[in-house]
Amino acid sequence: MYNKAMTTIYRQPSAWEYEGVYIMPETVETVVPYAFSYYPMYIYTIIGSNGSINSASSRGFSTTKTLLKGVVLSGNLSSIGLNAFYGHSGLTDVTASEQNGTNMLSIGSYSFYGCKNMVTLELPNNTVSIDTFAFGNCVSLLSFTFTPKLQTIGANAFINCRSLKEITINALAEGFNPINSFSNCDSLGIINVDPNNKLMKSVDGVLYNPDMTELYFYPMAKSDEVFTIPNTVIKISYGAFSNNQIIKKVIIPASVKVISDKAFFNTKNLNEYVFLGLDAPALECSYSSAGFSYSQFRGNMGRFEGELTLYCYEGSNYDNYIWNSFFTHIVTVPVEEDILGVNLSDSELASNEGTNAYLTDIPLSWDGDNRLYKEVIAKMSSNKNNSVLYVAC
């Protein structure tokens, strides 16, 4: 159902199912919320005799439509509303018409959520924003290329797109966080960035800021088992390596001064960390209503399973409370030796366990009690080789 000028799509009747590919008329500028969706609570539209438009909600029925296989979007679209195509499990292809309109297109929250068989997604060139969860649970989607004008992508816009292998970021993109926008995309192995983008840069599929002083995002499915962080990097961002289950060893240069919270969170096979600098990086914690979080390596400090090994040079300052709380083994290597060639057996590691000197003195019940945090800082201040932590609020 359209308005008289066919610039707005109001509703696909609940008992009618379009079979095949729906080609949207080029006159269409707006697809209202819930227009094609089948959702327990749906919106219907009442058009008065004087042309007034009113929306009302009604308790509908939850079902899945499978006959709609493709949608060709109008080149003049300016808005696709909330839940517009929610749950069309048979939809395999969403493409754009060849006509390029002048309207700027915004894609609403959950608009294509749960289109689990969608493989192809080609948005109109005039697309400027994608809202939260818009393409969430599109588990068959293989790749996504930012359209030329796309700037912002909301949190969880592509959550659980578990077949997504590659994304290509345009020159204008700025308002998105890849860790949030592409969360749980555990097949994502490559990130490409237009060389004209002034905020991001990609090298071998890894995302950095332009001068490569900050490592933003290491894809969850990047296939390298050993990764050497470039010696330009000063900061490893929040969640940068999180959820990668392939990497086994990371080499961290002396240039790295800050490791943010959850930088290596849930990297279950990453057991070896080689630090080339004598000065331990600052560990940036985060704070929420639950309290302070120290989860830089695999899990919460002192609360994860498995053993982690840290390799560093003699004279460095890693053997203290904080680092011993994360690492079972802290292995020191003479400066004149090749630290990258060290590979100790389990028995050799057992003889090189960290002292855990402060582990029994301070409880690890990070329950938001600021007193515990102050105790840690006080205890660390008594250690001449202390590590530095600070809070990101």
Q: Which residues of 255-292 are buried (b: 16+ CB within 10 A; e: fewer)?
A: bbbbbbbbbbbbbeebbbbbbbbeebbbbbbbeeeebb
Whether the predicted pLDDT of 366 surpasses 50: no
- For 27, 105, 163, 185, 393, the CA distances from 122, given in Å and listed in that order, are 19, 13, 16, 19, 38
Residue 242 within a domain = yes
- For 8, 23, 108, the CA distances from 28, given in Å and listed in that order, are 6, 11, 16
pLDDT value, residue 50: 52
* Residue position matching structure tokens 């994502």: 188
Host domain of residue 301: 234-393
Whether the predicted pLDDT of 294 surpasses 90: no
Looking up residue 264, the CATH number of its domain turns out to be 3.40.50.12480
Would you place residue 324 in the very low, low, confident or very high pLDDT band (cuts 50, 70, 90)? Answer: confident
Whether the predicted pLDDT of 118 surpasses 60: yes
pLDDT value, residue 374: 38
pLDDT: which is higher, 368 or 302: 302
Determine the residue type at 335: V
pLDDT per position as a tens digit, 218-230 = 999 999 999 999 9
Looking at the chain, how many residues does it have? Answer: 393
Do 213 and 235 touch, CB atoms closer than 8 A?
A: yes
DSSP 53: E
Residue 256 within a domain = yes
Whether the predicted pLDDT of 363 surpasses 70: no
The span from the CA of 60 to the CA of 214, in Å, is 49
pLDDT per position as a tens digit, 125-156 = 999 999 999 999 999 999 999 999 999 999 99
Residue 387 within a domain = yes
pLDDT value, residue 238: 92
Over range 292-321, report the average pLDDT: 82
Which has the minimum average pLDDT: 77-86, 266-275, 324-333? 324-333
Do 340 and 331 touch, CB atoms closer than 8 A?
A: no
The span from the CA of 80 to the CA of 29, in Å, is 9
Would you place residue 163 in the very low, low, confident or very high pLDDT band (cuts 50, 70, 90)? Answer: very high
Over range 258-279, report the average pLDDT: 93
Over range 230-254, report the average pLDDT: 95
pLDDT value, residue 290: 66
Helix (H, G, I), strand (E, B) or coil at 323: helix
Tell me, letter by letter, the H, E, C secondary structure of 135-182.
Answer: CCCCCCCCEEECCCCCCEECCCCCCCCCCCCEEEECCCCCECCHHHHC
pLDDT value, residue 199: 92
Half-sphere exposure at residue 75, Cβ-oriented, CA atoms within 13 angstroms: 7
Residue 333 within a domain = yes
Whether the predicted pLDDT of 385 surpasses 60: no
Tokens of 283: 């560990």
DSSP 327: -
Residue 253 within a domain = yes
Task: Name the average pLDDT for the chain.
Answer: 81
Percent of the chain with pLDDT over 70: 77
Residue 329 within a domain = yes
Closest alpha carbon to 234 in 210, 251, 259: 259
pLDDT value, residue 286: 75
- For 71, 101, 167, 184, 244, the CA distances from 105, given in Å and listed in that order, are 16, 10, 20, 26, 34
Tokens of 183: 């969360």
The span from the CA of 262 to the CA of 191, in Å, is 20
Cβ-proximal residues to 231 (8 Å cutoff; 6+ apart), any chain:
253, 254, 255
pLDDT: which is higher, 66 or 298: 298
Residue 151 within a domain = no
* Residue position matching structure tokens 């949207």: 24
Quickly count: other Cβ atoms within 10 Å of residue 16's Cβ. Answer: 8
pLDDT value, residue 348: 56
pLDDT per position as a tens digit, 33-85 = 988 886 444 444 444 545 444 444 443 333 456 788 999 999 999 999 999 99
The span from the CA of 257 to the CA of 336, in Å, is 23
Residue 319 within a domain = yes
Tokens of 19: 């079979």
Whether the predicted pLDDT of 388 surpasses 80: no
Structural domains of the chain, count: 1
Cβ-proximal residues to 301 (8 Å cutoff; 6+ apart), any chain:
294, 295, 322, 325, 326, 364, 366
Identify the top-confidence range among 51-55, 323-327, 344-348. Answer: 323-327
Helix (H, G, I), strand (E, B) or coil at 78: coil
